[in-house]
Amino acid sequence: MQREVYRLKMYKLRFHGRGGQGARVASKVLGTAAFLDGYYAQDFPLYGAERRGAPVAASARISEEPIMERGVIAEPDIVIVMDETLLQDPLTKPVLGIKQGGIVLINTAHSPEEAKVEYKITAQVLTLDITKIGLDMLGMPILSTLAGGVAARIVGLSEDSLTDAVKKVLSEIITDKRLLDKNVAAALYCFNAITPAKIELELKTTDAIKKKSSKVISVPFEPATVSSPAINATGNTPLRMTGNWRVFRPVWNYDSCTRCMICVARCPDGCILVNEDGFPYTDYDNCKGCLICVEECPTNSLGKVREVHV
């Protein structure tokens, strides 16, 4: 175990991903590995609406002493961004509260320097194209054990505990032994693919934090026109583009397309429209990349291309 990395008494981590990507399981892998390495550990998810593609955060606390905290981690030491598009999501704000000198690991094809500039992150940035590793080693963009492996390396846990943790956590949810073995290999690959930076927290920031501290107030009365939980504003769902969730983009080959419209009928989100010439095309602002259209096309006129945010 890289004890020199483990400088703090307690590490607080947040994983940010999208529903189905494996943020919750990543936090379990990390928590279990820490527990097996003899630390006190606590891990938990924060869901909003439970659906695929929705932003999901999961957290873990790893400590040398009993943990006297519960709930949301407002000021993490380490953030693992499993989906790069979340960095531009105005509601998710994955790096919010990250401590100066803390570490943000981003799943991206960017270099750390590029990502730091692109996303205006002041903390230390590490990058790894975890999605590519997932696709190469598992054949699917499910990144739970891979993100867990990365996190285990950053906090300085052992390879043995990581291996046991992946086996333990996955055996509770899948029965496919080969897939489990592939996950162990992928987690270890990620574990060894990064060179963990040292967390360099400025421990003297207490004064600055004190100044910003919040004050308890007396909440004033407001009439029910304001204080009932009704929403008077008109709906804004159309403003919320869902197209940035895609791992794969469907692409068209109009040479073989017969304009049969099966793809139009099958798209669960109504994201396939028809152009002036009668050919279907995708509304990429809202297509989530489920690829049902690719599956259903009888003439194989649809292919897929991985989305890379560079």
Does residue 23 touch another protein according to CB under 8 A?
A: no
- From the CB of 301, what's the least distance to another protein, in Å? 42
What does the angle CA 145 – CA 150 – CA 154 come to, to the nearest 5 degrees?
140
From 3, 9, 65, 71, residue interacting with another protein (rule: CB under 8 A): 71
Nearer to another protein, 229 or 298 (CB): 229
Decide the pairing of beta strands 103-107 and 124-128: parallel
Does residue 68 touch another protein according to CB under 8 A?
A: yes
| SS3 state of residue 108 | coil
What does the angle CA 223 – CA 227 – CA 230 come to, to the nearest 5 degrees?
125
Does residue 32 touch another protein according to CB under 8 A?
A: yes
**CA distances (Å), origin 23, targets 12, 59, 162, 199:** 15, 9, 16, 22
Nearest by Cα to 45 from 57, 34, 54: 57
Does residue 206 touch another protein according to CB under 8 A?
A: no
| SS3 state of residue 248 | strand
Q: What is the 8-class DSSP label of residue 129?
A: -
Does residue 224 touch another protein according to CB under 8 A?
A: no
Does residue 275 touch another protein according to CB under 8 A?
A: no
Does residue 45 touch another protein according to CB under 8 A?
A: yes
CB-CB contact of 114 with 87 (8 Å): no
Nearer to another protein, 234 or 275 (CB): 234
Taking the CB of residue 178, how many other CB atoms lie within 10 A of it? 7
Q: d(Cα 308, Cα 109) in Å, to the nearest integer?
A: 7
Does residue 92 touch another protein according to CB under 8 A?
A: no
From 69, 160, 285, 295, residue interacting with another protein (rule: CB under 8 A): 69
Does residue 219 touch another protein according to CB under 8 A?
A: yes
Does residue 233 touch another protein according to CB under 8 A?
A: yes
Does residue 55 touch another protein according to CB under 8 A?
A: no
From 65, 175, 177, 229, residue interacting with another protein (rule: CB under 8 A): 229
CA 219 to the chain's CA centroid: 36
From 91, 230, 239, 310, residue interacting with another protein (rule: CB under 8 A): 230
Rg of the chain over CA atoms, in angstroms? 22
Does residue 175 touch another protein according to CB under 8 A?
A: no
Window contacting another protein (CB under 8 A); options: 100-108, 230-238, 258-266, 270-278:
230-238
Does residue 176 touch another protein according to CB under 8 A?
A: no
- Residues 6+ positions from 157 with CB-CB distance below 8 Å: 1, 30, 33, 34, 37
Does residue 96 touch another protein according to CB under 8 A?
A: no
Does residue 46 touch another protein according to CB under 8 A?
A: yes
Nearer to another protein, 99 or 110 (CB): 99
Does residue 310 touch another protein according to CB under 8 A?
A: no
Q: d(Cα 194, Cα 160) in Å, to the nearest integer?
A: 17
- Residues 6+ positions from 3 with CB-CB distance below 8 Å: 156
Does residue 12 touch another protein according to CB under 8 A?
A: no
* Residue ranges that bind another protein, judged by CB under 8 A: 28, 31-32, 35, 40-46, 67-72, 74, 213-219, 225-226, 229-234
